[in-house]
Amino acid sequence: MGVKTNYKKIAVPASVCIALAVTVALLIIGSINLARAISPPATVQAMTQDHCADMTIYDGTNPSAILMLDDPRNNQSYQVAKLADNNCWMLNNLKITPQDVASAAAGLNNPGINGAILATAASDAPSEDTPKWYAPSGSNNNADPTFYGYLYNWCAATGATAATCTPVDVQPADATTDICPANWHLPKGGEEKDVDNEFSVLNARMAGFVNNQDVTYLSDPTVYQDNWLHSGPFQGVLSGGWFNFFNDFEAQDTDTLLWSSSSYPNEPYLASYVTFNKSEIQLNDYNGLRDYGMAIRCMTAGGTAQPVDPGTPDAPDTGVAPMGY
């Protein structure tokens, strides 16, 4: 004899169904995001474009967006963050010495170079065609460059290649190598109103402009220097420079000078750099003698930047908040 079973239908409220559907969707999205997350790189040299694209933009107020990565060449640590241009930048000046380079040449952006890339000791002798490095007084007499970093002439900064370490009367080429860690590079400089100037593009992004051609409107950069100072996203330090006409360090704690990878056209003894202080940021094709000692900030490519608009953009709204704020 069969057993008859009665099933009772239970009405489920529509609100419960919707809640369950939303929960399932969120779980699916969360699992996708987890699947896409990339483990942080083990060293600064292991940083890739994918790592950078996976990071949150650092706007100066969200320290959780900063990575701390070691450089095994000399066990110095660097803060690294993705900034408003969607590229990743070191938030510290470079701190590499000749001895470090000699022991780990393969960790450089130019694996073919050797320990002769820099002078064998800190030197005040000016030179365009011999690599030199200098230790600012704030670097504790060469022993602890953790705050200011070291200063380099352009020959050293660009990897001591024949193309960039030319005599004073021979036009050098733009640098394609440098002493940044592998997978990093010395930023491009040049004309301020040039979308190839990586400093200018970063300045425009941090100022809230999102179109590459907006760079051409930054004719008065004095209102954007706060983004570059130590309290802003770039976390700049006023490391000064070494100048051959003083035969000494100058401008420490008043100015920052950073080399670019760009030579200066038709002036063989010059190369392009950027400078900023508490009053202004100057990106307009500044040029310095190649034997000056200046700091280095390295960068690496990140996510996709805004494309250049082939049309004529409207004048930007200067009241737009900086990107990421």
pLDDT digits (tens, 9 = 90+) for 155-194: 889 988 889 999 999 999 999 888 898 889 999 987 766 6
Q: How confident is the model at residue 36 (pLDDT cuts 50, 70, 90)?
A: very low
Question: How many of the other CB atoms lie within 10 Å of CB of 279?
Answer: 9
Query: Which domain range does residue 276 map to?
Result: 49-300
Residue 309 within any structural domain of the chain: no
CA dihedral (138, 142, 145, 148) positive or negative: positive
Q: How confident is the model at residue 211 (pLDDT cuts 50, 70, 90)?
A: low
Residue 306 within any structural domain of the chain: no
Higher-pLDDT residue of 244 and 52 is 52
Reduced to 3 states, what is the DSSP secondary structure of residue 257? strand
Residue 78 within any structural domain of the chain: yes
Residue 85 within any structural domain of the chain: yes
Cα 225 to Cα 221, 275, 297, 303, distances in angstroms:
7, 10, 16, 25
Give yes or no for a contact between 89 and 139, defined as CB atoms under 8 angstroms apart: no
Q: How confident is the model at residue 98 (pLDDT cuts 50, 70, 90)?
A: low
Higher-pLDDT residue of 6 and 14 is 14
Residue 13 within any structural domain of the chain: no
165: DSSP letter? S
Instruction: Give per-residue pLDDT as tens, 113-140.
Output: 332 333 334 455 667 888 888 876 554 4
CA distance 46 to 51: 9
Reduced to 3 states, what is the DSSP secondary structure of residue 258? strand
Tokens standing for residue 299 = 């960068």
The domain total for the chain is 1
Residue 37 within any structural domain of the chain: no
Residue 8 within any structural domain of the chain: no
- pTM as predicted: 0.75
Read off the pLDDT of each residue in 2-11 and give the average, rounded to a whole number: 50
Residue 40 within any structural domain of the chain: no
